[in-house]
Chain A
Amino acid sequence: MTLNERQQQNEALRSEFLRRSGVDVSKCYQCGKCSAGCPVGDHMDIPTNKIMRLVQMGLIDEAMQSSAIWLCASCVTCTTRCPKGVDVAHVMETLRQMAKDHNCVAEKNIDKFHTVWMNILHKMGRMYEPGLIVGRNMVTGNIFQDTSFGVPYLAHRKLKLMPYKSNNIDEIKRMIEKAEAMDREEGGAR
């Protein structure tokens, strides 16, 4: 397929990306400093600078389907050192949010981890580690991952066994729902 056809296909995604991220990717001149300093760089299927290039060329679908955007640890080193002032980390973040909305998440387990986390927040307002570990393992299918830490955690008196239940859980729930509704409404635009 020719480039212009591919770009044509991506037209809607491109404008959605622009609206949601507010980042001017045309500034990027492909120096590679983002990839060079990325702590997850050697695990990414597509290096950060090439993600930027895909976005710059308007090939949002490819960028969105990469596993790289999920491996990004949000450490913001790329943005901090970018000589052109491009918020690279925010580009990655926007792509993650878009991948979720467009149902093309490459790293299902990472996504599920965040889902479990948010579900616990919904219910309790605070984190509850045993719930997180068990919940994550249930959805990812790695039933025994990190369970070996359960006992030592307890031995080191590090896990609270009973979850905290807020007195104002209704307030927190309302707040979360409202915020999520707003995010849906605006498509996460910044």
Chain B
Amino acid sequence: MERVGVFICHCGSNIGAVVDCARVAESVKDYPGVAFSTDYKYMCSEPGQEMIQNAIREHNLNRVVVASCSPRMHEKTFRACVAKAGLNEYMFEMANIREHCSWVHAGRNEEATEKAIDLVKMAISKVCNNEVLMKGHAPVTKRALVVGGGIAGIQCALDIANNGYQVDILERTPSIGGKMSQIDKTFPTIDCSACILTPKMVEASSHPNIKLITFAELEKVDGYVGNFEVTIRSKARSVDMSKCTGCGTCMTKCPGKADDEFNMNLRKRTAIYTPFPQAIPNKPVIDRESCLKFKSRKEGKDVCGVCAKLCPAGAIDYEQQDELFTERYGAIVMATGYEQFDHSIYGEYGYGKYPDVISGLHFERLVNASGPTQGHIVRPSDHKEPKTVVMVKCVGSRDPEHGKSYCSRTCCMYTAKQATMIRDHCPDTKVYVFYMDVRTPGKLYDEFYNRTREEYGVEYIRGRVSKIYQDGETLRVKGEDTLLGRQIEIDADMVILANAMIPNPDSERMAQIVGIGYDKDGWFTESHPKLGPVETHTAGVFLAGACQGPKDIPDSVAQAGAAAVKVCALLSKDQLETEPTVSKVDNKLCSGCGLCVPVCPYKAISLETIQERVAGKTIERQVANINGSLCQGCGACTVTCRSGAANLKHFTNAQILAEVDALCQTIL
């Protein structure tokens, strides 16, 4: 006998201002199965939860429906609540009358109330068909994978490793270090980026619990929280890592040349190379696109081979192939970082064709002592020191029409930092910054910005730049000082654009491989914008750093630490609870046709032989068997099953049809 308790939440005025909660409670009072119904201001609050628990005891309820916000918000809260009062936590359903009702039907109180009643009735009809379910258990692989070896990935790995767990860092490029290794100085303290990053890189490479997997890519992720099975493609390095000593002789005579990506193509590098002198591992790779040997092989010849002749350790291996291997991990941290927005979409800024219109990251390489100009700030076109520099903020950011709608968060500060660096290096150079707003919410950030203007004499002009064009030797910048209400033209020797941050171009594919969400711009989606900033909706997968959204170094590091704690909490368990909401097969109905087997994305279904006694005889036949620890509960098999033998617990055919019927009853 079902005894359902129904609790309608006002959520303050969030629901109560639109939906007549008392009327909803009243109208389902006599609905089949309902033993008790009421409404309350805040159901999720302490007194609200007590109210539910008391009602369960007083009215001898065996099922509960709460109509309030989205189950994605509070399903866990209320399940725990009913469990405390002795009910099985799956004897509970939620009706979403906030996100799906009051918030989207403001001012249409009558219709919204009718809708809320429908939604509650659907939930009641479903809960009447709910069954007691018990969580299962699965072992945990006590090792984590961090995807991405930038500052977020390194910090996260160190924190996990220092907690005593094994962790692998998977890095796409030949070295860890990420974007931070390209940056010269860090704001607001102007300490040298390399000086604070390289010790961390060394620590990561020498940590007994950390394994670096560089020049490798994520290929496939199978399994589930606690037991991910990850396939990794180790790209052919053409250098035998076990033999190479990192002496660097091979690079001295290499005739192959390519654009040096690390230095933003401001100079050339050799075909066999390490991206930068402090690279870790400090062992080179051959870039087969620009290597003369590999290029000649495409034409059926086989020339060069200088590096192999020079290598004293015999480490060069031209025949190396990509290798696929599989590892097991208990948790995965995504730390795939960001890329710089490409400003060449802007025709008004020259479609990227003017050599002296550069991006922020270009400037970092220009001003870096180990960069292509040994740290001298000079124009790329003629290597002369610029006497006037114009900086333009929000290039690609806050531009929904041509670029990205969001604010990239870091540009105000990195522009201020770069402006002060120009004034430091070239005291006679004038620096103008075009801005729309100056956004400096961070410790000592606004103070830094004010010093930039007051002490360093950088001129800030409020307005977006409309056009930049080459005018003889200089660049003419056309902007507006919106505070003066006057057009401004400046002849600049160099223009530095504060390019937006965009996700790693591969982020969508990565999200699909790992099975996490991403937003319209490709940033990975956290499980809750406030309360779950480093978790994802996929259990066991966490986020660190800028892959979740534009972030500076301090925020990335903080988030990396937070992700590490979540990973450690997961790995500290010997066993994990598994959701019981998995498929099951009714052997009596199963014909053993096997159609469900290939449909399952988790390979959780297999055919097994059972023995049955039919008419006094023992016969053997095949039926489908579902491995509950592999099944993730998608329900694909249930629809494929011809005989209706497969069913998904907690979303059974009976439950869903009960909901459909409940809704349609109100029509007939």
Contacts and interface: CB of A to CB of B under 8 A. Distances in A.
Direct A–B contact present (CB less than 8 angstroms):
yes
A36 B463 contact: yes
B480 A33 contact: yes
Contacts of B486: 42, 47
B400 interface: yes
Contacts of A137: none
B666 interface: no
B400 A32 contact: no
Contacts of A160: none
A30 B482 contact: yes
B480 A81 contact: no
Interface in B438-480: 462-467, 478-480
A32 B464 contact: yes
A152 B138 CA distance: 96
Contacts of A38: 466, 487
B213 to A, nearest CB: 41
A84 B394 CA distance: 13
A50 interface: yes
A44 to B, nearest CB: 9
A47 B480 contact: yes
B463 A83 contact: no
B398 A83 contact: yes
Nearest to B483: A32
B466 A33 contact: yes
B465 A36 contact: yes
Interface in A29-58: 29-38, 41-42, 46-47, 49-50
A37 B402 contact: no
Interface in B386-412: 394, 398-403
A42 B487 contact: yes
Contacts of A159: none
A109 interface: no
A189 to B, nearest CB: 24
A41 B480 contact: yes
B400 A33 contact: no
B521 to A, nearest CB: 16
Nearest to A82: B401
Given A37-B467, A42-B487, A32 B401 contact: no
Contact of B464 (A42, A50, A77, A83): A83
Which of B402, B480, B488 has most chain A Cβ within 10 Å? B480
A85 interface: yes
B463 A32 contact: yes
Nearest to A85: B401
B616 interface: no
Interface string B229-269: 00000000000000000000000000000000000000000
Interface in A52-103: 77, 81-85
A77 B480 CA distance: 14
B466 A81 contact: yes
Interface residues of A, number: 22
B interface majority secondary structure: loop
Nearest to B399: A83
A36 B398 CA distance: 17
B453 to A, nearest CB: 19
Interface in A84-136: 84-85
B463 A31 contact: yes
A36 B478 contact: yes
Contact of A47 (B398, B478, B485): B485
Contact of A33 (B403, B463, B485, B488): B463
Contacts of A46: 485
B344 to A, nearest CB: 16
Contacts of A29: 398, 436
B400 A77 contact: no
Contact of A37 (B394, B462, B466): B466
B191 interface: no
Contacts of A34: 466
B348 interface: yes
B464 A36 contact: yes
B491 to A, nearest CB: 16
B401 A37 contact: no
A47 B120 CA distance: 57
B398 A50 contact: no
Contacts of B401: 82-85
Contacts of A84: 400-401
B462 A32 contact: yes
Contacts of A85: 400-401
Nearest to B465: A36
Contact of A77 (B399, B465, B466, B485): B466
B206 to A, nearest CB: 48
Contacts of B462: 32
Contacts of A35: 463, 480, 482, 485, 487
Contacts of A41: 480, 487
Contact of A83 (B402, B479, B481, B487): B402
Interface string A20-36: 00000000011111111
Given A36-B465, A47-B486, 19 more contacts: A30-B482, A31-B394, A31-B464, A32-B436, A32-B463, A32-B479, A32-B481, A33-B466, A33-B480, A35-B487, A36-B467, A36-B487, A37-B348, A41-B487, A46-B485, A50-B485, A83-B402, A83-B403, A84-B401
- Nearest 8 CB-CB pairs, A to B? A37-B466, A32-B463, A36-B466, A36-B480, A32-B482, A83-B399, A33-B464, A31-B464
6 contacts: A31-B394, A32-B464, A36-B488, A37-B348, A38-B487, A42-B487
Interface of B: 348, 394, 398-403, 436, 462-467, 478-482, 485-488
